[in-house]
């Protein structure tokens, strides 16, 4: 096999120390552990505390760990892509900041914004640079500090999200391992259901936008649920059919962690048992672009060379997508 594929050759995650439990949320809003666990599957989530700390501070921990673990020096990296919905600044990009903090100098680096599908989008893009032969070592990061845009007076969203980061190293492989296929989709008509209204060019920050709480993430949960449950399952099934995979061929489903019920529906549709589904929602909640790399990090020791993985995500935009990876180590 001579076709160049982008193999994942290392994975590293980072979550902040602070644990926000359902019990603590019970003291902040009118909610309870039973509701949160039964409706979402979430028991606790991590929160990045500390003034002046942003998404890049978590991402750089994942990247530094990845470099150390894979015995890669910063000078060897050709490109770094960061998927995030909570960039440190409107500009410069968080990817630029991560490179600077990790000692990675003068390479191309940029952010991708596809909300909860961000990592699937970024991995799709990063793989192209390997497959074309242009680059030899590409880092793809998924990182979000959702606590920066979550309204902790809104019980319908604040129980869902947490902070975290994950990073993978992509390198060329000609033995059939790596990203074998990907599908990405979007529908901007989803904007009313899931968005952060102010802070961009339509509604720059004013006293009024702050008073109206427009700088927080807004989600119409039940509407998003309907789109998510259909589209995530459809796209996972689509990539399996396209690659002639049955549920039995799939070693792991690596789903975006928004709601355990959406994950179960996707697994059902794929005819994959829940014992083959990576889950970290119970301990991290929805970490947006970080959920999938954090899952891979958590389950790394259980992965075997040749395992077929289906990554699937759905998020704001709407955006959704799936990736077929043959695990390479």
Closest CB to ligand COA among 156 and 282? 156
Residue nearest to ligand COA (CB): 221
Contact flag: residue 222 with ligand COA (CB under 6 A): yes
Quick note: the x/- pattern for ligand COA over 105-134, rule CB under 6 A, is -----------x------------------
CB 99 within 8 A of CB 38: no
Contact flag: residue 209 with ligand COA (CB under 6 A): no
Closest CB to ligand COA among 36 and 235? 36
Closest CB to ligand COA among 152 and 329? 152
Residue numbers 51-80 binding ligand COA by CB under 6 A:
none
Options 136, 155, 195, 283; binder of ligand COA; rule CB under 6 A: 155
Options 178, 190, 285, 315; binder of ligand COA; rule CB under 6 A: 315
Options 70, 72, 128, 156; binder of ligand COA; rule CB under 6 A: 156
Phi (first) and psi of residue 205, to 5 degrees: -60, 130
231 is catalytic: no
Options 9, 12, 22, 40; binder of ligand COA; rule CB under 6 A: 40
Residue numbers 251-270 binding ligand COA by CB under 6 A:
258-259, 262
- Rounded distance, CA 49 to CA 197, Å? 24
256 is catalytic: yes
CB 247 within 8 A of CB 270: yes
Contact flag: residue 39 with ligand COA (CB under 6 A): yes
Q: Over the chain, what HEC string results?
A: CCCCEEEEEEEEEECCCEEEEHHHHHHHCCCCHHHHHHHHCCCEEEECCCCCCCHHHHHHHHHHHHHHHCCCCHHHCCEEEEECCCCCCCCCCHHHHHHHHHCCCCCEEEEECCHHHHHHHHHHHHHHHHHCCCCCCEEEEEEEEHHHCCCCCCHHHHCCECEEEEEEEEEEECCCCEEEEEEEEECHHHHHHEEECCCCCCCCCCHHHHHCCCCCEEECHHHHHHHHHHHHHHHHHHHHHHCCCCHHHCCEEEECCCCHHHHHHHHHHHCCCHHHECCCHHHHCECHHHHHHHHHHHHHHHCCCCCEEEEEEEECCCEEEEEEEECCC
Contact flag: residue 320 with ligand COA (CB under 6 A): no
| The total number of residues written for the chain in this structure | 329
Contact flag: residue 31 with ligand COA (CB under 6 A): yes
Q: Choose the stretch contacting ligand COA; rule: CB under 6 A; options: 11-19, 32-40, 163-171, 236-244.
A: 32-40
215 is catalytic: no
Q: Choose the stretch contacting ligand COA; rule: CB under 6 A; options: 36-44, 73-81, 89-97, 178-186.
A: 36-44
> CB of 300: closest distance to ligand COA in angstroms?
24
> Catalytic one among 22, 96, 158, 256?
256
User: Residues interacting with ligand COA, by CB under 6 A?
Assistant: 31, 35-36, 39-40, 116, 155-156, 159, 221-222, 224-225, 228, 258-259, 262, 286, 314-315
Give catalytic residue positions. Answer: 116, 256, 286
């Amino acid at each position: 096999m001579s076709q160049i594929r982008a193999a994942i050759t290392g994975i590293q995650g980072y979550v902040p120390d602070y644990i926000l439990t359902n019990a603590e949320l019970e003291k902040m809003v009118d909610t309870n552990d039973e509701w949160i666990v039964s409706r979402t599957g979430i028991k606790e989530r991590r929160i990045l505390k500390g003034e002046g700390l942003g998404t890049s501070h978590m991402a750089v921990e994942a990247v530094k760990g990845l470099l150390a673990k894979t015995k890669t020096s910063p000078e060897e990296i050709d490109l770094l892509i960061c998927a995030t919905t909570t960039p440190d600044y409107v500009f410069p990009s968080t990817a630029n900041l991560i490179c600077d903090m990790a000692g990675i100098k003068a390479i191309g680096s940029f952010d991708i914004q596809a909300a909860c599908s961000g990592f699937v989008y970024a991995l799709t893009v990063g793989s192209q640079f390997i497959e074309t032969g242009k680059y030899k070592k590409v880092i793809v990061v998924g990182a979000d500090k959702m606590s920066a845009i979550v309204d902790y007076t809104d019980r319908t969203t604040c129980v869902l999200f947490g902070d975290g980061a994950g990073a993978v190293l992509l390198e060329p492989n000609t033995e059939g391992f790596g990203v074998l296929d990907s599908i990405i989709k979007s529908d901007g008509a989803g904007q009313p259901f899931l968005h952060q209204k102010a802070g961009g060019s339509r509604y720059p920050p004013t006293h009024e936008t702050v008073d109206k709480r427009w700088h927080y993430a807004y989600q119409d949960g039940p509407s998003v649920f309907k789109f998510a449950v259909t589209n995530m399952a459809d796209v996972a099934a689509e990539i399996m059919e396209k690659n002639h995979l049955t549920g039995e061929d799939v070693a792991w489903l690596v789903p975006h962690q928004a709601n355990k019920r959406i994950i179960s529906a996707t697994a059902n549709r794929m005819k994959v048992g829940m014992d083959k589904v990576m889950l970290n929602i119970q301990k991290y909640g929805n970490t947006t672009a970080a959920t999938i790399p954090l899952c891979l990090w958590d389950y790394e020791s259980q992965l075997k060379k040749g395992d077929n993985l289906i990554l699937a995500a759905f998020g704001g935009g709407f955006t959704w997508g799936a990736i077929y990876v043959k695990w390479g180590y």
